[in-house]
Structure 1
Amino acid sequence: MTEQNSRLGIGLMLAATFVFSAQDGISRHLAGQYNVFMVMMIRYWFFAAFVILLATRQAGGIREAARTTMPWIQGFRSLLLIAEVLTLVTAFVILGLVETHAIFAVYPLMVAALSGPILGERVGWRRWVAIGIGFVGILVILQPGFGVFSPAALLAVAGAAMFALYGLLTRYCGRSDSAATSFFWTGTVGAVAMTLIGVWFWEPMAAGDWAWMALLCVTASLAHWLLIRCYEVAEASVVQPFAYFQLVFASAFGVTIFGDALELNVVIGALIVTSAGIFTLVRSAIAARAMRRDGAR
């Protein structure tokens, strides 16, 4: 991988995290005004149209994009992402962007912890220590036992756990299915499932909010496209640590636009979680390089 491509990949990751943060802010606004099921249904309609358009532009078309050796797992991981999105958007409304993203930042540590039992990957003692430190950071954020703990914070914890499992199942499917196939299933299954739920919660939307809804759909698709391009031009080990900038961008939106409070315990806890997560990503990259070297001998 050339340095130029690495720089481009980092730039694309930063752009993706910024757009994802803007998307989260718009989701919080709309879900605060309208039923979250309806909002997510419309978002998934646009998402499905986007993945179908991408599929038609690739070799083999939609038939090839839909081809999978594990339809049940692909379907389950797609439904799991729906549950995660609904949970996280609800947390945005109740907790705010700052606290939700500070807690959600623990998901890479959850991925590392679960990669052993689910994927059979070896997790060394250094990464286990980092995982433990990261969860200490979550306790700093949640402050259980200090009289200020909000049970709603468990929504963000649940969202992080679901997204971690979704990521692991995506990697598991990636052993036989292409990324395009997983992306196609995510969008189409999600749209069908959300339509079955969301149509029962339809309500009139103000003209101005339809503009926000359109922007939500555009940002959702743009963010995914930026992420796809990012992984096409640079190694995941290079760009993944920069995904933590989503916490920075989301916090900035939360404080400046929605008036979220920037509590000291949340800042300290987020720094602990982020540091532990970056260390875990670095150790994973080192382990992957060592395996490739051993395999080349």
Structure 2
Amino acid sequence: MTGNNTRHGIALMCATTLVFALQDGVSRYLAENYNTIMVVMLRYWFFALFVIAYSATRAGGVRAAARTSQPGLQILRGVLLAAEICVMVLGFVLLGLVESHAVFACYPLLVAALSGPILGEHVGWRRWVAIATGFIGVLIILRPGLKVFQPEALVPLLAAFMFALYGLLTRFAARRDTAQTSFFWTGVAGAAAITLVGPFYWEPMVGMDWAWMAALCVFGASGHFLLIRALEVAEASAIQPFAYFQLVFASMIGVSVFGEALDPVTMAGAALIIGAGIFTLLRSRKSGPAPATGTTAPAKARSASGPAR
């Protein structure tokens, strides 16, 4: 049942970003010690079970959730998100949580920029200014020409592009499929795709790390459930800006657990990106439905899930 309790929705979205930040921290730890594809595969197996179990509780059950007239598009979405998660987790290992999330925060701006050529939507000059401002923030973080540029810095930017494309494909799919159907195919298609390659990268996991793997799966399922609840009780456009709290929580974990540094220049760039992103979301709210952030929740809205990863 949907509602319009914005305060409750904001609280749930903040809780969602905290859980997803914890998920990212555990992902970084495991990917530093095991192959990234194997870690994501195990996580996706649990996610697929969660999606199937959740769909079974909805009207029509699993059969209704799986029914689609565009299976190719739905499979492409699921495969793209699984690949994006692998790229982003690799970014955590190469750059850390702080810098990866700071760069990744530009994905709503990429959604806005690409919505014109891909979906034929109108993007006004104010949004183009916001998009340009956000990418100035990205350049501030990457600082090409001002330091020894590391190609690894482009990894989270690639993940942001992939996640934005996934979001646009989700909006395109929503023209003919329900959000519940897209949610189902996101989990099942992604799990099937990564299982085709994941076993080739299998590595023995020590006892305590299986506990961390279990925690990663629980964080993933819990985060998606919280995101679903947030979108059920409040409008997506009202709670979307609070998805940026994931950067705050991830930075706290990166500094306190992994010993990362809060570079003032990186934070300044991130502030520009977040400011431009929130402006873009507010403009979208005034002119029409908020741009999809590519959330995998069964409602149109990341993430989350920029948080929904």
User: Which band: TM-score by shorter chain?
Assistant: over 0.9
5 Å matches for 1:120-139? Answer: 120-139=120-139
Contact 2:35 2:201 in 1 (8 A): yes
Partner of 1:57: 57
What are the superposed Cα offsets for residues 6-46 of structure 1, whole Å, 9 maximum, x if unpaired? 01110111011000100000000000000111111110110
Q: Secondary structure at the match of 1:272?
A: helix
Alpha-carbon offset, residue 117 of structure 1? 1.4
Partner of 1:87: 87
The answer as to 2:5 corresponding to 1:40 is: no
5 Å matches for 1:69-148? Answer: 69-148=69-148
What are the superposed Cα offsets for residues 248-296 of structure 1, whole Å, 9 maximum, x if unpaired? 000000011001111111010000000000000000000017xxxxxxx
Bigger Rg over Cα = 1
In 2, distance between residues paired with 1:166 and 1:73?
Answer: 10
In 1, distance between residues paired with 2:15 and 2:165?
Answer: 25
In 2, distance between residues paired with 1:83 and 1:17?
Answer: 21
In 1, distance between residues paired with 2:32 and 2:245?
Answer: 25
In 1, distance between residues paired with 2:228 and 2:30?
Answer: 26
In 2, distance between residues paired with 1:193 and 1:142?
Answer: 32
What are the superposed Cα offsets for residues 198-242 of structure 1, whole Å, 9 maximum, x if unpaired? 111111111100000000001001111111111111111100000
What are the superposed Cα offsets for residues 40-78 of structure 1, whole Å, 9 maximum, x if unpaired? 111011000000001111121111111112111111111
Contact 2:10 2:230 in 1 (8 A): yes
The answer as to 2:188 corresponding to 1:209 is: no
Q: Secondary structure at the match of 1:152?
A: helix
Partner of 1:294: none
Q: Which amino acid aligns with 1:196?
A: L
Partner of 1:292: none
Partner of 2:304: none
Kindly, what percent of the aligned residue pairs are identical? 60
Q: Which amino acid aligns with 2:245?
A: F
Partner of 1:21: 21
In 1, distance between residues paired with 2:34 and 2:151?
Answer: 23
The answer as to 2:155 corresponding to 1:186 is: no
Q: Secondary structure at the match of 2:145?
A: coil
Partner of 1:238: 238
In 1, distance between residues paired with 2:204 and 2:223?
Answer: 27
Alpha-carbon offset, residue 2 of structure 1? 7.2
Partner of 2:159: 159
Contact 2:3 2:232 in 1 (8 A): no
Contact 2:98 2:260 in 1 (8 A): yes
Alpha-carbon offset, residue 149 of structure 1? 2.1
**Structure 2: runs of 5+ lacking an equivalent:** 290-309
Partner of 1:253: 253
More helix by share: 1
Alpha-carbon offset, residue 82 of structure 1? 1.0
In 2, distance between residues paired with 1:66 and 1:222?
Answer: 22
Q: Secondary structure at the match of 2:189?
A: helix
Contact 2:68 2:177 in 1 (8 A): yes
Q: Which amino acid aligns with 1:161?
A: F
In 2, distance between residues paired with 1:242 and 1:119?
Answer: 25
In 1, distance between residues paired with 2:32 and 2:123?
Answer: 41
Bigger drift between 195-204 and 245-254 goes to: 195-204
After superposition, the CA RMSD in angstroms is: 1.2
Partner of 1:283: 283
Q: Secondary structure at the match of 2:117?
A: helix
Contact 2:3 2:233 in 1 (8 A): no
Q: Secondary structure at the match of 2:288?
A: helix
Q: Which amino acid aligns with 1:135?
A: F
